[in-house]
């Protein structure tokens, strides 16, 4: 992805790759919490929208430097994660998913009700870009994606990630073993929200506009679909799933009105025949193939030779 803009110097391609990298950050942040713990978050767009609107208000209403939007968006997303996660993650069943879904829908309606301050359906316009150069901004987003994925992957492969997977496997056994299950679930939600909020702020400064559509349920469903296509619980798989689906959406534009039909049928086939995802299992197979080729060949010793040596 770093080489593509240099080989094909097209502003359209750079724009598509930038959007795919931002979606990759949203997908990997969702997978860290929901993919590892098994607690599905149907309102991940809440953190994205909060981060984006925080950047919009700071930049347009208060005239703050756009670079301050990133930490501010992370802080606001964390506050919303604590506000919803602390009371709901202690409950059993689908209450957390419903609470997150309700939170995203409520925030979207509030952005429309208080249109005098939020701009209503038009949103907030006139944001200042983080970097004037489109190529420079793309490399900023790509570098952030790589750093975020590396950090979350390191956490997922550490003792922390082992506990989160154990919670997904059997939460009652973890509690019986003395593990503070609620703390780990809330902490993972906070990390997920912080990453999503930062990516939402970057998206706002890329589009130079923020709208209530960021809170829409379809945004969360799109992210979840990317995670399932990439491989849930693998961290790096959702990044590939996001890039793949964004590029596929653009490539299918030539089909005109049949684009959504072809896109939907392709997704159904992938999810039906590849329930573990497409990107992560394919990468694991390729890695295993290269490992086998790199191993030294084993020398088979005949039984009679082994007897003589004995």
Find the range with the poorest average confidence among 39-43, 208-212, 257-261. 257-261
- Exposure pattern of 241-260 as b/e (b: 16+ CB <10 Å)? bbbbbbeebbebeeeeeebe
Is residue 303 predicted with pLDDT exceeding 50?
Answer: no
Nearest 5°: the CA angle 202, 136, 234 is: 55
Residue 308's pLDDT band (cuts 50, 70, 90): low
Mean pLDDT of 201-208: 95
CA-based nearest residue to 252, from 242, 264, 243, 241: 264
159-196 pLDDT, tens digit per residue, is 999 999 999 988 889 989 889 999 999 999 999 999 99
Is residue 242 predicted with pLDDT exceeding 70?
Answer: yes
CATH code at 4-295: 1.10.3470
- At 14 the pLDDT is 94
144-155 pLDDT, tens digit per residue, is 999 999 999 999
Query: What are the DSSP calls for 29-85, one per residue?
Result: HHIIIIIHH----TTTHHHHHHHHHHHHIIIIIS---GGGHHHHHHHHHHHHHHHHH
- Exposure pattern of 134-153 as b/e (b: 16+ CB <10 Å)? eeebbbbbbebbeebbeebb
Provide, rounded to the nearest whole percent, the portion of the chain with pLDDT above 70. 95
The answer for residues whose C-beta is within 8 angstroms of residue 54's C-beta and 6 or more apart is 69, 72, 73, 76, 77, 197, 201
- At 306 the pLDDT is 44
16-74 pLDDT, tens digit per residue, is 999 999 999 999 999 999 999 988 899 999 999 999 999 999 999 888 899 999 999 99
- At 145 the pLDDT is 96
- At 201 the pLDDT is 96
Domain boundaries, the chain: 4-295
The answer for residues whose C-beta is within 8 angstroms of residue 241's C-beta and 6 or more apart is 27, 225, 226, 227, 228, 229, 230, 231, 277, 278, 279
Query: What are the DSSP calls for 238-305, one per residue?
Result: HHHHHHHHHHHHHHGGGGGGGHHHHHHHHHHHHHHH-TT-SHHHHHHHHHHHHHHHHSPPPPP--HHH
Residue 104: both structure tokens together: 């995203």
Euclidean distance between CA atoms 250 and 298, whole angstroms: 48
> What's the pTM value of the predicted model, to 2 decimals?
0.90
């Amino acid at each position: 992805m770093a080489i593509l803009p240099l080989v094909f110097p097209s502003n359209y391609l750079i724009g598509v790759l930038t959007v795919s990298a931002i979606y990759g950050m949203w997908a990997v942040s969702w997978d860290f919490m929901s993919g590892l713990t098994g607690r599905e978050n149907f309102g991940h767009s809440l953190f994205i929208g909060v981060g984006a609107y925080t950047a919009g208000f700071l930049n347009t209403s208060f005239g703050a430097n756009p670079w301050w939007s990133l930490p501010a968006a992370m802080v606001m997303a964390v506050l919303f994660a604590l506000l919803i996660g602390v009371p709901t993650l202690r409950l059993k069943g689908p209450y957390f998913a419903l609470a997150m879904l309700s939170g995203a829908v409520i925030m979207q309606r509030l952005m429309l009700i208080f249109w005098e301050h939020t701009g209503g359906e038009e949103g907030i316009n006139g944001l200042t870009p983080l970097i004037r150069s489109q190529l420079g901004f793309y490399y900023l987003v790509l570098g952030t994606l790589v750093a975020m994925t590396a950090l979350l992957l390191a956490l997922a492969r550490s003792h922390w990630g082992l506990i989160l997977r154990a919670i997904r496997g059997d939460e009652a056994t973890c509690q019986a073993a003395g593990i503070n299950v609620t703390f780990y679930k809330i902490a993972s939600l906070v990390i997920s929200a912080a990453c999503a909020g930062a990516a939402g702020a970057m998206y706002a400064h890329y589009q130079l506009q923020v709208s209530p559509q960021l809170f829409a349920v379809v945004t969360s469903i799109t992210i979840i679909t990317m995670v399932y296509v990439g491989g849930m619980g693998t961290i790096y798989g959702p990044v590939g799933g996001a890039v793949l689906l964004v590029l596929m959406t653009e490539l299918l534009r030539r089909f005109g009105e049949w684009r959504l039909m072809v896109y939907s049928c392709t997704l159904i086939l992938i999810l039906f025949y590849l329930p573990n995802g497409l990107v992560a299992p394919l990468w694991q197979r390729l890695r295993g193939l290269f490992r086998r080729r790199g191993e030294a060949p084993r020398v088979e010793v005949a039984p009679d030779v082994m007897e003589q040596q004995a």
